[in-house]
Amino acid sequence: MRNRLRLLVVGDKTRFIHLKQFVQELEKIGIESKLIYDIEFIDKFFQMNIKKKIERDRNFKKILKEFDPDAVLLDRISKVGKKVIEQNIPLLILLRGNYWEESSWAKKTIYKSRIKRLAATKNKELFDLCLRKSSLILPISKYLENEVKKRYPEKNIELFPADGRVPEEWYSITGQKLKHPCVGLLQGLNIWGKSKELLTLKNVLKELPQVTFYLAGDGIYRDQIIPELQNFKNFVWLGNLEYPNEIKEFFTEIDVYVLLSGLEGLGQTIIEASLMKKPIIATNVGGIKDLIQDGKTGFLIQSGDESKLIKKILFLLENDSKAEIMGENACLYIKKNFSWSKVALDFSRIMTKHSDLFITKKRNNNL
C-alpha cells in the first residue's frame, strides 16, 4: 500500500512548459505526478479515425494501468475527461476561463457553418458532463469561482490560482530595440470578447502621438483589430514572439505594460510583466483584480475608459520613480503569491482537505 498521492496531469501542449514546473514542485512535496499531452489521446469531433481511436484508447488505458493515479487533473476540458469518468477515477477540473461567455462569442462570430455549430454543441455537452461528473472543480480566480458556483452549486469547488511562475527565471534580456517612450501590449487575438477591447486604443493613439505602442500577439481576429490600429504611425504590430526569451526581451525594453482585455480568467501576462518589474495598467475585468492591487502594484481601469487610460500612461511615463516603485511592488506581490512552490503547497492543502475522494477510490479498486 502506498502513502503518497499519485496524480496524473493532462495538459495542453502550449502550457507544457508551466505544467512541468508545477509537476516538479509537486514531486518535491511528496505528490507523485505524471504529465501527459491530451491531444495524443483524443480525436477531433467529426474527424474520427476508428483505428487511431482504438489505439489512443488503448494507450490511455495503459497509462492508467501502469501509473495507477489516485486522481486525474485536467488543465483544460477535453475528451480525456470523459475517459477518466468512465474509468471511475476522481476527476479534477482546472477551470481557466469563462467557457460560457467565450462559446457565446464564438457562436456570434466564427461558428457560422452547420459543422462548427454541431461541434460547438458537442463541446458544450462535453464541458457540462466533465463538470457534473468531476470530483473537484478548481477555478483559478475569484471571478471564475463565482461563475462556476452559480452554475454548479452542488459541486466541490475550491479556489486555486494555478498560474505560477519560477521568479528567478524572469530576468532582463537585452535584444529588442524599441522607440521610447513606449507602451507594450501582449495578448492573443483568438477570443472576440477579449480582443475587441484593443480597439479602445484608437483614440489613445491619436491623443498620444509622442508615445509608440507595440502589440505582440496574433490570432483569428487579427484582421478585425490590426488594420484599425495600423492607421496610426505610433502603432507597431510585432506578431507572435518566441516564448519565453523574446517575451523577456519585450518586457525588458518597454516602459509601461498595458493589458486591454474584455475578459480574463486571471491574466498570465500580468504575472510575467510584474516579475519583470514593469508598471502595469489593465482593464478591471474577470480575475485581473486578483493580480493587481490598484494604485500599489498597478492601475485598474474600466473597459473602454480611454480618458483614464491616457492619464495613467502619462502619469507613469512622467513619474519614473513612482513607476519604478510600482514595478517593485508588483514583483514582490507576485513572488509571494504566484511562485510554483506556493501553488504546489496550495494544491497539497486542497488535496488534504478532500482526501476522502481518494480514499473512496482506493476502496472501490480494492473490492
Residue 361: what pLDDT? 52
How far apart CA 220 and CA 20 sit, in angstroms, is 28
Q: For all residues of the chain together, what is the average pLDDT?
A: 93
Q: Residue 334: which residues within 8 A CB-CB, separation 6 or more?
A: 165, 167, 271, 274, 275, 291
Beta-bridge partners for 11: 37
How far apart CA 98 and CA 264 sit, in angstroms, is 8
Query: Is 167-338 in the same CATH topology as 6-164+339-366?
Result: yes
The structural architecture, per CATH, of the domain 6-164+339-366 is 3-Layer(aba) Sandwich (3.40)
Cell numbers for 60? 490511455
* pLDDT one-digit tens code per residue, 252-291: 999 999 999 999 999 999 999 999 999 999 999 999 999 9
Superfamily of domain 167-338: Glycogen Phosphorylase B; (3.40.50.2000)
* pLDDT one-digit tens code per residue, 190-213: 999 999 999 999 999 999 999 999
Cα separation values, 129 from 49, 124, 133, 155, Å? 23, 9, 6, 13
How far apart CA 187 and CA 185 sit, in angstroms, is 7
The stretch 293-311 carries a mean pLDDT of 97
Lowest mean pLDDT among 108-112, 231-235, 296-300: 108-112
| Cβ density class 109-119: b for 16+ within 10 Å, e for less | eebeeeeeeeb
Percentage of the chain beyond pLDDT 90 is 82
Q: Please check the confidence at residue 173 and state whether its pLDDT lies above 60.
A: yes
| Nearest CA-CA partner of 187 in 216, 214, 164 | 216
Identify the band that residue 1 occupies on the pLDDT scale cut at 50, 70 and 90: very low
pTM, two decimal places: 0.93
Residue 47: what pLDDT? 57
Annotated domain spans of the chain: 6-164+339-366, 167-338
Q: Please check the confidence at residue 311 and state whether its pLDDT lies above 50.
A: yes
* pLDDT one-digit tens code per residue, 86-109: 999 999 999 999 999 988 888 777
| Nearest CA-CA partner of 62 in 82, 36, 43, 44 | 36
Cell numbers for 295? 494604485
* pLDDT one-digit tens code per residue, 38-91: 999 987 655 567 888 889 999 999 999 999 999 999 999 999 999 999 999 999
Residue 363: what pLDDT? 42
3-state secondary structure of 35: strand
